[in-house]
């Protein structure tokens, strides 16, 4: 295989630093055509150094997830809007689980200022966001805190969540297959997510459209186990049909984006 060009080396460094690169931004930065950048990205993806997503690429693979801080930088506007919409679905004076994820954290951020909530979480970042709120009770799962993302996983966390039956669960996923499979990277985290879903009356999945363009090796469950799916846009006709047939309510915060043409490879 040929060596990477200097431009490809720099593109890879940018992607690893920011978590994601965008075709138009790179074309402007390097003063080349978008087609040239797409060719660079495709070659980097062929080497399994990057993973293609709509409009660009991310520095992840189907085996290992991106770093948590890098994931915060991806689809920030979309995650914020998804979080705000999901929070609107949770009424005051209710109980809910919130699991690990940058999008679920945006839901917690949007719940600030609310009243009468009991929030049960294995996400230290969520606990820190809601801890100062005078009218929200925060309960945190016990166990070892992962330095990488502030998540608490393991058998103790599973046993902890199995003690409750709450009104809502807010969950994320690292990838969503067109067949409706919900996927993640860490088997221990998946088992906690399964316990969270099993012990809630209404499950809300929060995930932006880039999750439909990724893959991950561990199955959390199926979209049919979800009651409401909040996303920025759902461009996949197949997944949309599965949601309708399964009775899953889909909330799109930017529905017009579902009609955007896919980036030309």
- Dihedral class, residue 39 (left if φ above 0, else alpha if ψ from -120 to 50, else beta): alpha
pTM (two decimals): 0.78
- Two structure tokens written together for 41: 């990205």
Domains in the chain (CATH in brackets) are 6-60 (1.10.10.10), 75-259 (3.40.50.1360)
d(CA 217, CA 30): 35
Q: How far is CA 19 from CA 37, 66, 71, 76, in A?
A: 17, 7, 6, 12
pLDDT at 264 over 50: no
pLDDT at 234 over 50: yes
Residue 229 has a pLDDT of 98
Q: Are 102 and 79 in contact (CB under 8 A)?
A: yes
List phi, psi (to 5°) of 210.
-65, -20
Report pLDDT digits (tens) over 85-136.
999 999 999 999 999 999 999 999 999 999 999 999 999 999 999 999 999 9
pLDDT at 1 over 60: no
Q: Is the dihedral of CA 145, 150, 155, 160 positive or negative?
A: positive
How much of the chain, in percent, has pLDDT values that exceed 70? 91
């Amino acid at each position: 295989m040929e060596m990477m060009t200097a431009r490809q080396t720099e593109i890879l460094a940018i992607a690893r630093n920011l978590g994601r690169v965008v075709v138009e931004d790179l074309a402007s930065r390097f003063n080349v055509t978008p087609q040239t950048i797409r060719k660079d990205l495709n070659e980097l993806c062929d080497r399994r150094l990057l993973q293609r997503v709509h409009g660009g690429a991310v520095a992840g693979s189907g085996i290992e997830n991106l770093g948590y801080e890098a994931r915060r930088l991806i689809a920030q506007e979309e995650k914020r809007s998804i979080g705000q919409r999901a929070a609107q679905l949770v009424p005051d004076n209710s109980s809910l689980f919130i699991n690990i994820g940058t999008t679920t954290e945006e839901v917690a951020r949007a719940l600030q200022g609310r009243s009468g909530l009991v929030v049960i979480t294995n996400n230290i970042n969520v606990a820190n966001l809601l801890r100062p709120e005078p009218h929200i009770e925060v309960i945190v799962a016990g166990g070892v805190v992962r330095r990488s993302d502030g998540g608490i996983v393991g058998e103790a966390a599973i046993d902890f969540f199995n003690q409750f039956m709450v009104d809502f669960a807010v969950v994320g996923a690292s990838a969503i297959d067109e067949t409706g499979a919900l996927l993640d990277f860490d088997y221990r985290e998946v088992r906690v997510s399964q316990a969270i879903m099993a012990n809630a009356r209404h499950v809300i999945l929060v995930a932006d459209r880039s999750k439909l363009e990724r893959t991950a090796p561990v199955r959390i469950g199926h979209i049919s186990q979800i009651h409401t799916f909040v996303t920025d846009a759902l461009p996949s006709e197949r997944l949309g049909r599965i949601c309708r047939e399964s009775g899953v309510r889909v909330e799109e915060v930017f529905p017009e984006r579902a009609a955007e043409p896919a980036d030309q490879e």
